[in-house]
Amino acid sequence: MTATAFGPAQLLHRLRARSGSAAQSPITHVEQVTARAGRVAEWPEWADPSVRESLVSQGIVAPWQHQADAASLAWAGTHVVLATGTASGKSMAYQLPALSRLAADPRATVLYLAPTKALAADQLRALVRLGLDGVRPATLDGDTQREEREWIRQHSRFILTNPDMLHHAVLPAHARWGAFFRRLSYVVIDECHAYRGVFGSHVAHVLRRLRRVAERYGSSPTFVLASATSGDPAGSASRLVGVPVAAVVEDASPRGGMTFALWEPPLLPPESSAPPTFVPAARTPASAAGSSSADSPSAGFLSAGSASEVDPDLDNMPPIRRSALRETADLLTDAVVAGTRTLAFVRSRRGAEVVATMARRSLDEAVPGLGSRVAAYRGGYLREDRRAIERALLSGELLGLASTNALELGVDLAGLDAVLICGWPGTRASLWQQAGRAGRAGGEALAVLIARDDPLDTYLVHHPEALFGRPVEATVLDPANPYVLGPQLCCAASEAPLTETDLELFGGAAARATVEALVQQGALRKRPSGWYWTERGRPDVDLRGTGGAPVQVVEASTGRLLGTVDQGSSHVMLHEGAVYLHQGVTYLVDELDLEDAIALVHPEEPDWTTHARDVTDVSVVRVRSYVDAGPVGLFLGDVDVTSQVVSYQRRRLGSGEVIDTKPLDLPVRELRTVAVWFTISPQALAAAGVETADVPGALHAAEHAGIGLLPLIATCDRWDIGGLSTANHPDTEAPTVFVYDGHPGGAGFAERAYATAAEWLRATREAIASCACETGCPSCVQSPKCGNGNNPLDKPGAVRVLTTVLAALPPD
């Protein structure tokens, strides 16, 4: 099948036609993004002729103005961040100065950092196509064989790697890399907006360690950062690198027009909606002090990435609306039948597999064999599988791909016609990154955001002004987080003794206080020449907070390695009896060995899915700040959270009917983090018309909706945060709602919620009150990750609670 003749408008009309009359249209808004002409600049005089000729041979007749501006700043030795739109040619802005330097100085080297292996592989292909002599570009990552690593260390002048490899393999062995560091001219940090939260805070210190090691060998490289359009790119880049960074933000590249549709899946007819089935929920320890309900980030809440592994469209929700996963699969099917090359972004690994499987099945029913032109793409695949899928997509062999955000960043996917975004991706920056995958060759494009049955998604598709015409978010990271700073200082000390000058590099007063604490703990030893690491081995620090080595998923009968799952997600995805999907094939987990990090599985096609359930408790450690608003109190502080996956449900495919609940015996996980919470007096609740018996359900509903709407205010994801509500918490002695960061030491989300509490809670109240349901649904107060099975919930009571809180709190 050849490329489609359908333009964006025609394809959107075709998709709309599936739903019947205009009155039943799932499209709530269509935004037309107009095309834009480009502005070119002259080639800089300093550009090496051979580099310029190679770029011209690739079709780059002249640089766009923003490329020339950023490249000239970098050539002059100014640290610079280029923050422009998707497909604006950011790569050339670092290639031109870096490759020109390599041409001018045959001993110079360049280090390139990417957040994903796919992006590094894509950039390697681009460098190889230039065919420049003496550059010898190479990727260095976890898939690189040992003998290749030796060749790269000795011969490559342009190394493409990732922060994890730099942290685990290069910096600890800096003596062996001395020649490379001594000649290091440029450090390129691609897609730097991806470094946020706890992961971003770790990477910020890895870059400070890199600067320290480079200085030790006599070099002072220029940092060139590439970012999606973001709020305060200069400030964010400066916090990441630790030095002042200039920003180039005016995008001079041409852009094709885009049709951007907001799509709300239709309500299911009553006869096709299975009645909700609730199982008595396990109670958290806090319930001894009053009825409590917990909404944890995930069973793997210690993991920065684990929260995204539990898909909201697969959880215990009354099927009020058609599943966003099924809707995305059908839209992908229709697009492929029309010959449209389409990429569907899905929030979770499991969801990507489900969308691809459903689309393949539907396509094979429509046109036998057409299903083979759709695939899934996600983290956890083996290297050879990932590369094969990437090649098939670039060649046109694949017409449709369901992917996690592994393909969001940078990879050149020229020729795509449409992008489907299954669920709000968490930030406006990610939304536009994903949408920008379509039309990358400059043609017209279609993007569709398909709302999940979720408070924030529902709010956004009915409030397009919250998406379009608003600036994207600033990147949030906190290098002073003690749970990040302490381990990173230990890593730095293991590489070379820390000095007073180093402490300024790592944060000044905060670093000094942390070093003193590490000395008291015995991790560091003070000597006249500095602070020394006391252990024989290196510190074991995981940048991504995944809680240890990935769990290998192995087919028991053959010993074949299917893929990996991070430790944080393993309790949810790989518990005994769990259904595990891999490239469209279903497996059941026979055994999870956490000590050896192995899960044994066997292939099976059950007619049910599995859904893990957990219990959570929160205790207050310290109050950092508070607002006394009479009957209402607003607090920010440190809390201890304990969570345990205690059981899983088997649910019938299609109907969602609960077959049974089976107990699990998995270890408790503990987390010291930051939370925002509010209390409200029983008298104020009574005055608002909330009866005593209804208080637990009212608070629980308000908690769920608050978690769902917080990503509108903070640069976070619903799965990055958790919560708990109780009618009488032992630490506050009052009805209380907690919302906490799902990362050790916090990630800045609770602080943002506290600082904008009135705005956050006002949007939460509006989302609940404006929902057309009577008693609560996934679009307002039901949560896809509730450990209590969404019971009890009181929608009207939640509105009364939030009205009372907002009336008492001062405006932002």
663-702 pLDDT tens trace: 999 999 888 999 999 999 999 999 999 999 999 999 999 9
Q: Tell me what pLDDT residue 661 has.
A: 92
Q: Tell me what pLDDT residue 439 has.
A: 77
Taking a C-beta distance cutoff of 8 angstroms, is the pair 615, 655 a contact?
no
Q: Confidence class of residue 166 from pLDDT cuts 50, 70 and 90?
A: very high
Taking a C-beta distance cutoff of 8 angstroms, is the pair 730, 679 a contact?
no
Angle at 492 between CA 489 and CA 495, to 5 degrees: 155
Name residue, tokens 């990935």. 550
Please count the other Cβ atoms lying within 10 Å of the Cβ belonging to residue 798. 30
**Residues contacting 388, CB < 8 A, separation 6+:** none
Taking a C-beta distance cutoff of 8 angstroms, is the pair 660, 618 a contact?
no
SS3 content of the chain, % helix, strand, coil (to 5): 40, 25, 40
Taking a C-beta distance cutoff of 8 angstroms, is the pair 63, 43 a contact?
yes
**Residues contacting 784, CB < 8 A, separation 6+:** 310, 311, 312, 313, 315, 317, 454, 778
The pair of structure tokens assigned to 416 is 């795509």
**Taking 60 as the threshold, does the pLDDT of residue 705 lie above it?**
yes
* SS3 (DSSP) at 476: coil
Predicted TM-score of the model (pTM)? 0.74
Question: φ and ψ at 209, to 5 degrees?
Answer: -65, -40
The pair of structure tokens assigned to 94 is 């670092």
**Taking 80 as the threshold, does the pLDDT of residue 721 lie above it?**
yes
* Over residues 335-346, mean pLDDT: 92
**Taking 90 as the threshold, does the pLDDT of residue 330 lie above it?**
yes
Please count the other Cβ atoms lying within 10 Å of the Cβ belonging to residue 133. 7
**Residues contacting 284, CB < 8 A, separation 6+:** 292, 294, 615, 616, 617, 724, 787
* Over residues 79-100, mean pLDDT: 93
415-426 pLDDT, tens digit per residue, is: 688 999 999 887
For residues 555, 556, 561, 564, the Cα torsion angle rounded to the nearest 10 degrees is 80
* pLDDT greater at residue 404 or residue 530: 530
**Least-confidence region, from 305-314, 607-616, 770-779:** 305-314
* pLDDT greater at residue 292 or residue 355: 355
**Least-confidence region, from 104-113, 163-172, 379-388:** 379-388
Sort residue 547 into left (φ over 0), alpha (ψ -120 to 50) or beta: left
Distance CA 409, CA 432 (A): 11
Distance CA 454, CA 230 (A): 25
Share of the chain above pLDDT 70, in %: 87
**Taking 50 as the threshold, does the pLDDT of residue 622 lie above it?**
yes
Of 166, 158, 144, 164, nearest to 214 by C-alpha is: 166
